[in-house]
Amino acid sequence: MKTEMEKTPLIANLVSVQTTTRCTLRCKKCSCSFPLFNPPVDSDVRLIKRSIGRLFNVFSYIHEIRIAGAEAFLYPHVIEVIEETAKHRKKFGYINIVTNATYVPKSEILQSMANLNCPVLVRIDNYGELSGKLTELRAVLGEHKIDYEVRNNCEHNYFCGGWIDFGTEYEDKHYSASELKKLFFNCRNRTECKTVWDGVLYACGFIAAGHKLLKCPVAARDCVDLLNTDNEAAIQKVKDFDKYPLLGCAYCNGFDPVNSPRIPAAEQM
Ligand code: SF4
Ligand code: SF4
């Protein structure tokens, strides 16, 4: 029988499932510092599949479930991850995959996405000259009748007004308690950046990457070990994620949609 906590539905706008840190670009200000993973790391596909099952036990509904990289299309088992996610189609709105248009997915990946019985959206970040496969990518997605949208990150037409520098050097900023609260409660990622990585659901992808790089501490209350926590405890922890600043926020510049300074997108190392 479900407990009172489990009966209250837990709904998320967006949850990312991390697959690989491989990428074709090396952006200086990559929000998850993926270029610093050297060599790149592929997560264990069995762990990812078990995590997806647990995720849909804990959440009653997720509007957007993102199969995330760096470049998720480079993950060798991306088809398995997509198809595993699709099995839970009544519990999410759509599957999203983000790509930088430097790469055209293999035909078997496109075919797999085309055959899904659930909505899937490829979000293409257009970085101008860097995104050399944009035209080809649009063409093959069109041929396979796979929905896509293009976000312009080019000069004069920045999506979201430009990139944010989250602070990828992960230095402790020594904020006062009130500064930290302000940073956190004004941060767009407070509710929009939950990330599952190697079986652990992190409240924010920035701290997940920092934790993996051993550059940023993560408090026990800021993450949930999905495979070793019962539903009631997991639901309670996730409900508390957005109530207090995360320990790792001290290492971050935050993402205030209005006031955070914007920087040029995708400057390469
Ligand atoms: S394209 Fe740039 S920002 Fe995107 S994952 Fe790769 S390195 Fe990071
Ligand atoms: S301020 Fe905190 S919640 Fe916002 S991006 Fe940084 S670490 Fe994540």
Q: Look at residue 264 in the predicted model and tell me its pLDDT.
A: 87
| Statement: residue 1 has pLDDT above 90 | no
Q: Look at residue 110 in the predicted model and tell me its pLDDT.
A: 98
For a substitution probing ligand 1, which of 71, 100, 137 has the most ligand atoms within 8 Å of its CB? 100
Strand, coil or helix: 117: coil
Q: Look at residue 162 in the predicted model and tell me its pLDDT.
A: 78
Strand, coil or helix: 17: strand
Q: How far is the CA of 135 from the centre of ligand 2 (A)?
A: 34
Residue 4 confidence class, pLDDT cut points 50, 70, 90? low
| Statement: residue 182 has pLDDT above 80 | yes
Mean pLDDT of 2-27: 88
Torsion of the alpha carbons at 52, 58, 62 and 67, rounded to the nearest 10:
-20
Task: Please work out whether the CB of residue 241 comes within 6 Å of at least one atom of ligand 1.
Answer: no
Question: Which ligand 1 atom sits nearest the alpha carbon of residue 70?
Answer: 5
Residue 161 confidence class, pLDDT cut points 50, 70, 90? confident
Distance CA 146, CA 59 (A): 26
Mean residue pLDDT of the chain comes to 94
| Statement: residue 261 has pLDDT above 80 | yes
Quote the tokens at residue 124.
Answer: 């293409």
Mean pLDDT of 53-61: 97
Q: Look at residue 156 in the predicted model and tell me its pLDDT.
A: 64
| Statement: residue 157 has pLDDT above 70 | no
For a substitution probing ligand 1, which of 26, 27, 36 has the most ligand atoms within 8 Å of its CB? 27
Please, what are the domains in the chain? 4-263 (3.20.20)
| Statement: residue 160 has pLDDT above 80 | no
Length reported for the chain:
269
Encode pLDDT of 189-238 as tens digits: 999 999 999 999 999 999 999 999 999 999 999 999 999 999 999 999 99
| Statement: residue 3 has pLDDT above 90 | no
Encode pLDDT of 93-132 as tens digits: 999 999 999 999 999 999 999 999 999 999 999 999 999 9
Residue 8 confidence class, pLDDT cut points 50, 70, 90? confident
All residues at 6 or more sequence positions from 35 whose CB lies less than 8 Å from its CB, including other chains: 23, 25, 26, 27, 28, 269
Strand, coil or helix: 235: helix
Q: Look at residue 147 in the predicted model and tell me its pLDDT.
A: 98
- Other C-beta atoms closer than 10 Å to the C-beta of 87 total 14
Q: Is the pTM of this model over 0.85?
A: yes
CB burial readout 58-68, b (16+ within 10 A) else e: bbeebebbbbb
Distance CA 234, CA 239 (A): 9
Pocket of ligand 2 (CB under 6 A): 166, 183-184, 187, 189-190, 193, 204, 206-207, 246, 248-249, 252, 254-255
Q: Look at residue 5 in the predicted model and tell me its pLDDT.
A: 58
Percentage of the residues of the chain whose pLDDT score is greater than 70: 95
Task: Please work out whether the CB of residue 249 comes within 6 Å of at least one atom of ligand 1.
Answer: no
Instruction: For residue 204, give the nearest of 261, 255, 266, 159 by alpha carbon.
Output: 255
